Homo-oligomer: A and B are copies of this chain.
């Protein structure tokens, strides 16, 4: 097991990474002993891991109840959230209760937001079981549900007590979700670490083959990079926005195609191709580096072309992006491989051309 630390003053927390961790009572005990715990998860994950987690919680001295939510992005809704509150109230969880988010990004976002606002905020633990959740969404405290007009439009910054990332749980992950998680791994390299991009280019087949050592390295390095950014800018007043590389286009793809049609990681992958194209056209990235971005994404088995929504629809969907300031959409551009920056002054024509270049 390796343990990193996200440094946020009194909200600092450990990120444990290793095989078999989700059944380890000692990792839960400091947070749940003598408490009431609600384990929020979905039916698929529950079938695989719920019993093991509840056993570990019992060993750690907690009384736990499961709260099952729908599978998939549609669970990030008012209706499902309200059912979670119902379950927490029925289980008489007080302010000293603890929520455990057991599952992928959807469960983490939903359960984390439920914990953020239930009785004005109770603590929670992230136990991510997908690669995407382990390398990205479980770390950093962003929680949210979707709104009909945009993804993650309603949410909170609410840091977990700890992240318990069990890489053995990736063995059961569907192929498509593994690749979607690799998209966020690659993203961390593109925006922050050229050496990690070199490593990914050399090891992408090992990741796709789920070699344990390669996966563990990818999870650890991704969490390290993300933790540094979050420690420097918890609430995204500046630097943290670079983690959204590929996400402005990506959110438009997800919303335009209908939530759940594209996995988040797939949309981000294509969004990164568009953002690299935009970077090349804006003159911050060499053309050959934009091709390098696209090539690695394609090698990971991820889509490099977006759905044919029509360019105007893309622009409309991007208008509600949370990074927009005074109505102007802002983009994360690559400033060479391994460096990123936020730009809000880009010409509409460049944006249109970059979308057009990556359409099906």
Contacts and interface: CB of A to CB of B under 8 A. Distances in A.
Nearest to A122: B322
A320 B89 contact: yes
A307 interface: no
B324 A120 contact: no
A214 to B, nearest CB: 33
Contacts of A326: 34-36, 94, 96
Interface in A223-251: 235-236
Interface stretch (A149-157, A271-279, A283-291, A333-341): A149-157
A353 interface: no
A29 to B, nearest CB: 17
Contacts of A96: 325-326
Contact of A149 (B35, B36, B89, B325): B89
A325 B116 CA distance: 18
A94 B322 contact: yes
A86 B148 CA distance: 8
Which secondary structure dominates where chain A touches chain B?
mixed
A238 to B, nearest CB: 12
Contacts of A327: 36, 92, 94
With a 10 A CB-CB cut-off, give which of A86, A236, A323, A327 has the most chain B CB atoms. Answer: A327
B78 A82 contact: yes
Contacts of A143: 120
Interface string A90-111: 1010111000000000000000
With a 10 A CB-CB cut-off, give which of A78, A118, A326 has the most chain B CB atoms. Answer: A326
B119 A153 contact: yes
Contact of A94 (B119, B144, B154, B324): B324
A: contact size bracket: 35 or more
A118 B153 CA distance: 6
Contacts of A148: 86
Contacts of A323: 95
Contacts of A235: 120-121
A319 interface: yes
Nearest to A145: B117
A151 to B, nearest CB: 11
B120 A117 contact: no
A175 B235 CA distance: 44
Contacts of A142: 120
A194 to B, nearest CB: 30
A299 interface: no
A147 interface: yes
A85 interface: yes
Contacts of A149: 85-86, 89-90
A156 B116 contact: yes
B85 A120 contact: no
B157 A121 contact: yes
A119 B148 CA distance: 13
14 contacts: A34-B326, A82-B147, A85-B154, A92-B319, A92-B324, A95-B322, A95-B324, A116-B156, A117-B154, A119-B155, A120-B143, A120-B152, A120-B236, A120-B322
Given A89-B320, A120-B322, 4 more contacts: A35-B326, A78-B78, A86-B149, A90-B149
Q: What 10 pairs between A and B have smallest CB-CB spacing?
A: A89-B149, A120-B155, A119-B322, A94-B324, A117-B154, A96-B325, A92-B327, A78-B78, A94-B325, A85-B147
